[in-house]
Chain A
Amino acid sequence: DAGVIQSPRHEVTEMGQEVTLRCKPISGHNSLFWYRQTMMRGLELLIYFNNNVPIDDSGMPEDRFSAKMPNASFSTLKIQPSEPRDSAVYFCASSPLGQGYGYTFGSGTRLTVV
């Protein structure tokens, strides 16, 4: 099992550009989570999906952020337009359904908006 795969690992973009982060969850995991980590705010849950359906997007900071999960093996987090304050490490995690399961995290995407 390759684990949760995120791409790209690093992204540097200019303010105003569109950024798309990608995630492939572990096969068979029904839940997928997007987190953002910064020094100031720590680990923040942005959105999560169960069976490809968004359940809670209350953590999405602004309308500039959107996330999709078109199928069980792929999700995207898009920022349009990007701003310097979006600079952070973005993690994707997946989990089987059920309270007894923890998450498996990807290695993250380090986003820098200049």
Chain B
Amino acid sequence: AQSVAQPEDQVNVAEGNPLTVKCTYSVSGNPYLFWYVQYPNRGLQFLLKYITGDNLVKGSYGFEAEFNKSQTSFHLKKPSALVSDSALYFCAVRGSNDYKLSFGAGTTVTVRA
């Protein structure tokens, strides 16, 4: 079985400070990892993914994520957060033998001006 844990329900940061949203996963075989963002009253939007290759993946809106196989983690990062980054963030994983993505519970990010 595959699963995702997002240990923090909420993350609060000041604008201009670094932002990190944590994600750990459990999966059989090689993981395929994804981050999505959801703004109020909108659907989930794709941010970035890790399939293979470099452990540091760059995505939309200045976000990046680092794949760490030994720690089974895929934390989302942004060097300098903006107020407009305030949203709900979901981490998701798919194993090499599964068609469906498993989503974490989500982390609400609030960036204060």
Contacts and interface: CB of A to CB of B under 8 A. Distances in A.
Interface of A: 4, 31, 33, 42-43, 45, 48, 50, 55-56, 91, 93, 97, 99-100, 102-108, 110
Interface in B95-113: 95-96, 98-101, 103, 105-106
B100 A45 contact: yes
Interface in B41-93: 41-46, 49, 51, 90, 92
Given A43-B90, A48-B99, A104 B106 contact: no
Contacts, number: 48
A74 to B, nearest CB: 18
Where chain A touches its partner, the secondary structure class is strand
A55 B99 contact: yes
Q: How large is the interface on B (under 10, 10 to 19, 20 to 34, 35 or more residues)?
A: 20 to 34
Contacts of B99: 31, 48, 50, 55, 97, 99
B43 A107 contact: yes
B100 A48 contact: yes
B29 to A, nearest CB: 9
A42 B105 contact: yes
B7 to A, nearest CB: 15
B32 A99 contact: yes
Contacts of A108: 42-43
A48 B100 CA distance: 8
Nearest to B35: A102
A56 B92 CA distance: 18
Contacts of B96: 99
B98 A99 contact: yes
B25 interface: no
